[in-house]
Chains A and B, each alone.
Chain A
């Protein structure tokens, strides 16, 4: 009867049936479908005309919000904004649940799979989180709201792109919008003003000036760049900075978002890897850098060891404590292809597709990202994604002033390049391990880029 069917597939079918019987039967598991088969179909997007932008008319509603803004200044800004929203719309009760980043990451999936998920959630950009949520139909596309509220005018395109997922959920960086981020962050070059002055140097304004300074500093017996890579991820930012300056913003964006026919084995990326390895062998980093902790390196830099340090704006407050006015910060100095600095934005506030009040949820997201909210964020010590009025009152000599000015400079030049570990779902593992190999001299720059390309091709083809 079924003689035409290939033997192999029949055997596969039999083995699957046997396994099903063995597992389900022996353990008497009630329902034994494929995991995740109960998930919802893809949500329908609303048309802009059917949107109500006035939550006051929504009647009595409870808005359940899950965020990860648990730390000092972050908690302060969201608490204040929630209070203001409730005062403006007394009919809306905000039920806030805040968890630390890693707690949110591990519990959000379960919460979203349930029948009664929160209305607004903060989703981490990238394949394992936001793209997976979109693929499973758990987030609502917000393009109609973006049109109604004018978000496309509020945000620079590069920041909106990070919160977009393609319609087939195969990649991100373009497609439909699934959330808005409150805050920005970028990887820049911190410098010790005091040591730099003692060495007779001024802060570099271009990439080649920075590179020239490194050898001068080394010749004078000082440590050029403070750096610790025991925790594996810090090197992503060091390499990302070198690559941004060498390859330029378009190349890096093409690589990370998989647009065009970019390859990690291209000449500029190999050159960037070569530079990083040379810096290690020339002693521009502390010796045994793969064995130095990230926090230890920051501590050393704060206590005057190292003239430069390449890391993110999230360290500004920590470094400023002991260093005070001798701490300076700039975006990555522009290379021959213009200003390009690695960076991104905080987790995106999105609306779940099962939310019963998506209009109120979107109004809330609009409220916590508008120009007034930006001022609240700045006053509570955060870097708003789109700085508002209050930013102009900062002193340009202060660290906060430098940080905000650097962010505005990057965005007005459209110079923000994405984090490299966004490239594939497994890229974080691949690049962190490969960078330790490269820095430790265990692999050549070419082998390093081939390792990255292997992971990349596998994902793009699969």
Chain B
């Protein structure tokens, strides 16, 4: 026995990882397993049952998962979440890029001030944001007043009460929250680009657009990947903004999956279904994040 152990020890090449390494990561690993992996496993387990959270559950297999596709009250929220990604991720990144490029090219007095103001929505509590936008969008609210003031009274609407406008309206509020973070990320990124590259581009006769495409955009790849991952994750798991502005209405036109998780688990006692929605959302977030890192970061 001892000989064999010694033989195994000798066979290992110098510098090869040793089992001792696991001891070092054990404290963190234990916490991670107890706080993340085990609850995740429990959620998967619960999602295979029809359970009210109290009495004995009945086994339903993958029924809760097939319902994600077949039940319109569950399919709808997932579609809305994907539409909202345009507002929660795509628009903030585009706006952030634009602002970062403009701010880095144009020398304005009081740049720090503008940067702070534009970043402010990111700092506000979501409750404050939601209440503010409810006032802005109210039929007698700020937006309609402004429209009437400039003679566009015909465009006024009950923004959050309209079946077609409510989703984009909530989305715009999400854009407002998210673009500041993207802008700050990109500004930091732009400052690390060597000045020589811009000079070289200009010597070659590149205009602002070509300069952006050839120099700025490639240099910002890592920041764009980070911004995309952050905004997509935040967008998909966001429910406070929806819950506080429209509560999923009018009808079900702004319902999102993250709200369904809370609602089903705590309000109507469908713990199994809630777990399935949660797992579905996790898978979706995971898949999108992988896609982002492949596409933007260029990892194979």
Are the C-beta atoms of A35 and B246 separated by less than 8 Å?
Answer: no
Are the C-beta atoms of A136 and B55 separated by less than 8 Å?
Answer: yes
Are the C-beta atoms of B51 and A36 separated by less than 8 Å?
Answer: yes
CA distance A19 to B249 in the complex (A): 37
Tell me if A27 is interfacial: C-beta within 8 Å of chain B.
yes
Which chain B residues (21-38) contact chain A, with CB distance < 8 Å? 37-38
- Binding-face segment, B157-165, B199-207, B225-233: B157-165
A45 smallest CB distance to B (angstroms): 19
CA distance A90 to B295 in the complex (A): 72
Are the C-beta atoms of B249 and A432 separated by less than 8 Å?
Answer: yes
Are the C-beta atoms of A286 and B249 separated by less than 8 Å?
Answer: no
* Most B C-beta atoms less than 10 A away, residue of A128, A230, A426, A442: A230
Q: Which residues of A contact B150 (CB under 8 A)?
A: none
Given A291-B158, A440-B250, A440-B251, A35 contacting B46 (CB threshold 8 A): yes
Given A23-B45, A29-B41, A36-B51, A232 contacting B158 (CB threshold 8 A): no
* Most A C-beta atoms less than 10 A away, residue of B38, B163, B263, B268: B268
Which chain A residues (114-145) contact chain B, with CB distance < 8 Å? 127-128, 132-133, 135-136, 138
Q: Which residues of B contact A202 (CB under 8 A)?
A: none
B interface residues, how many (CB within 8 angstroms)? 46
Are the C-beta atoms of A291 and B247 separated by less than 8 Å?
Answer: no
Q: Which residues of A contact B269 (CB under 8 A)?
A: 127-128, 132, 425
Are the C-beta atoms of A436 and B134 separated by less than 8 Å?
Answer: no
Tell me if B267 is interfacial: C-beta within 8 Å of chain A.
yes
- Binding-face segment, B56-64, B86-94, B116-124, B189-197: B56-64
CA distance A229 to B246 in the complex (A): 10
Which chain B residues (147-176) contact chain A, with CB distance < 8 Å? 157-163, 166
- Of A37, A231, A428, A437, which is within 8 A of B251 by CB? A437
Q: Which residues of B contact A127 (CB under 8 A)?
A: 269
Q: Which residues of B contact A109 (CB under 8 A)?
A: 53-54
Are the C-beta atoms of A39 and B251 separated by less than 8 Å?
Answer: no
Are the C-beta atoms of A426 and B268 separated by less than 8 Å?
Answer: yes
Tell me if A429 is interfacial: C-beta within 8 Å of chain B.
yes
Are the C-beta atoms of A230 and B161 separated by less than 8 Å?
Answer: yes
Are the C-beta atoms of A442 and B160 separated by less than 8 Å?
Answer: no
Q: In the complex, which range does the number of interface residues on chain A fall in?
A: 35 or more
Given A29-B42, A293-B134, A426-B268, A230 contacting B160 (CB threshold 8 A): yes
Tell me if B252 is interfacial: C-beta within 8 Å of chain A.
yes
Are the C-beta atoms of A429 and B161 separated by less than 8 Å?
Answer: no
A28 smallest CB distance to B (angstroms): 9
- Of A291, A425, A436, A440, which is within 8 A of B139 by CB? A291
CA distance A299 to B168 in the complex (A): 27
A461 smallest CB distance to B (angstroms): 16
Are the C-beta atoms of A19 and B48 separated by less than 8 Å?
Answer: yes
Tell me if B271 is interfacial: C-beta within 8 Å of chain A.
yes
A293 smallest CB distance to B (angstroms): 6
Tell me if A433 is interfacial: C-beta within 8 Å of chain B.
yes
Tell me if A113 is interfacial: C-beta within 8 Å of chain B.
yes
CA distance A230 to B51 in the complex (A): 31
Residue of B nearest to A287 (CB): B139
Are the C-beta atoms of B51 and A35 separated by less than 8 Å?
Answer: yes
Are the C-beta atoms of B266 and A106 separated by less than 8 Å?
Answer: yes
Q: Which residues of A contact B266 (CB under 8 A)?
A: 105-106
Tell me if B137 is interfacial: C-beta within 8 Å of chain A.
yes
- Of A27, A34, A231, A432, which is within 8 A of B56 by CB? A34
Are the C-beta atoms of A290 and B250 separated by less than 8 Å?
Answer: yes
Given A291-B159, A292-B138, A16 contacting B55 (CB threshold 8 A): no
Q: Which residues of A contact B186 (CB under 8 A)?
A: none
Are the C-beta atoms of A138 and B163 separated by less than 8 Å?
Answer: no
- Of B53, B57, B61, which is within 8 A of A34 by CB? B57
Q: Which residues of A contact B263 (CB under 8 A)?
A: 429
Q: Which residues of B contact A132 (CB under 8 A)?
A: 52-55, 269
Q: Which residues of A contact B52 (CB under 8 A)?
A: 36, 128, 132, 135-136
CA distance A169 to B91 in the complex (A): 51
Q: Which residues of A contact B248 (CB under 8 A)?
A: 232, 433
Are the C-beta atoms of B250 and A437 separated by less than 8 Å?
Answer: yes
Tell me if B179 is interfacial: C-beta within 8 Å of chain A.
no
Given A29-B41, A112-B54, A442-B163, A296 contacting B267 (CB threshold 8 A): no
Q: Which residues of B contact A436 (CB under 8 A)?
A: 161, 249-251
- Of A34, A35, A106, A232, which is within 8 A of B247 by CB? A232
Given A23-B45, A26-B41, A291-B138, A138 contacting B54 (CB threshold 8 A): yes
A315 smallest CB distance to B (angstroms): 19
CA distance A433 to B53 in the complex (A): 25
Are the C-beta atoms of A230 and B37 separated by less than 8 Å?
Answer: no
Q: Which 5 A-B pairs have the closest CB atoms?
A: A288-B158, A291-B161, A290-B161, A291-B158, A27-B41
Given contacts A34-B56, A290-B161, 16 further A-B contacts (CB under 8 A): A23-B44, A27-B37, A27-B41, A32-B45, A35-B45, A35-B271, A105-B266, A128-B267, A128-B268, A132-B55, A230-B246, A232-B248, A429-B263, A433-B252, A440-B163, A440-B251
What are 14 contact pairs spanning A and B, CB under 8 A?
A19-B61, A34-B56, A39-B54, A231-B247, A232-B247, A289-B161, A291-B138, A291-B139, A292-B158, A429-B268, A433-B248, A434-B251, A436-B249, A436-B250
Interface, chain A (partner B; CB < 8 A): 12, 15-16, 19, 23-24, 26-27, 29, 32, 34-37, 39, 105-106, 109, 112-113, 127-128, 132-133, 135-136, 138, 229-232, 286-293, 296, 425-426, 428-429, 432-434, 436-437, 440, 442
